[in-house]
Amino acid sequence: MERNLTHIALFAAMIAALGLIPRFEIVPGIGITAQSMGVMLCGTILGARLGGLAAGLFVLVLLLGLPIWAGGVGGVGLLATGKVGFIVGFPFAAFVTGWMMSRLPASIPVSAFFASVIGGMGVLYAFGIPGMAWGLGKTLNEALVISLSFIPGDLVKAVLTAAITAAVAKARPAALLSRG
């Protein structure tokens, strides 16, 4: 019980820390930070339930008004921007990533890559694109075109997630709760 709780809280803090440190920007520029990689890692390391709850806790505290979104912003105001779908989709993306991670039969890095692509990209876009369409007053197709620009960066993040998950599994084999 305590262990689950502290894992959820510390991974939520980890997602926040990844957004706070500009040096972790994978591609320099706005929005393409390591934060959504944190969501993928929640799933691949903590598994579906704990990973989803960690991402959910991050979203809850973000909306409560802590400036923990990449670039140091927060609060319910984010829900009125084109980011709304991505914010709401975080817990679901982490959950599906973790669920896939526990079921894919391949080795750890390969499973982590595909789980991140399905959960951290497929599921996240399924929330993010309608959210962007709504927030920016565009049609779904138009929002889809805009989102195409995220794909290269997110694929890089999925590759990194695979490598990092494998490294963590090597350092702390018992900690890979998604495969526990």
Partner 1 sequence: MLSLTSPIQTPAHGWRAGPKLAALAGLTFALFLPAPGWPALAFALALLAAAAITAGGWGILSPWARLFRPLWPFVVLLIVWHAVTATPLQGAVILARMAAAVGAANLMTMTTRLADLQALVLWALSPLAKLLPAKPLSLAIALMIRFIPVMADRAAQLSTAWSARSPRRPRARLVAPLLVSALDDADHVAEALRARGGAL
Q: Are 176 and 169 in contact (CB under 8 A)?
A: yes
How does DSSP classify residue 76? G
Binding of partner 1 by 24 (CB under 8 A): yes
* Nearer of residues 75 and 152 to partner 1, judged by Cβ: 75
**For partner 1, which residue of 110, 137, 140, 152 counts as binding (CB under 8 A)?**
137
What gap in Å lies between CA 86 and CA 90, rounded to an integer? 6
What gap in Å lies between CA 131 and CA 144, rounded to an integer? 11
DSSP H helices, 72-123, are: 84-103, 108-115
For residue 96, the minimal CB distance to partner 1 (Å) is: 19
Binding of partner 1 by 126 (CB under 8 A): no
**For partner 1, which residue of 39, 55, 59, 68 counts as binding (CB under 8 A)?**
68
To the nearest 10 degrees (0 to 180), the angle between helices 84-103 and 124-136 is 170
CB atoms within 10 A of CB 48: 23
**For partner 1, which residue of 91, 126, 146, 173 counts as binding (CB under 8 A)?**
146
Binding of partner 1 by 71 (CB under 8 A): yes
- Site residues for partner 1 per CB under 8 A: 1-3, 5-14, 16-18, 20-21, 23-24, 26, 30-31, 34, 37, 41, 45, 57-58, 60-61, 64-69, 71, 73-83, 135-138, 142, 146, 160, 163-164, 167-168, 171-172, 175
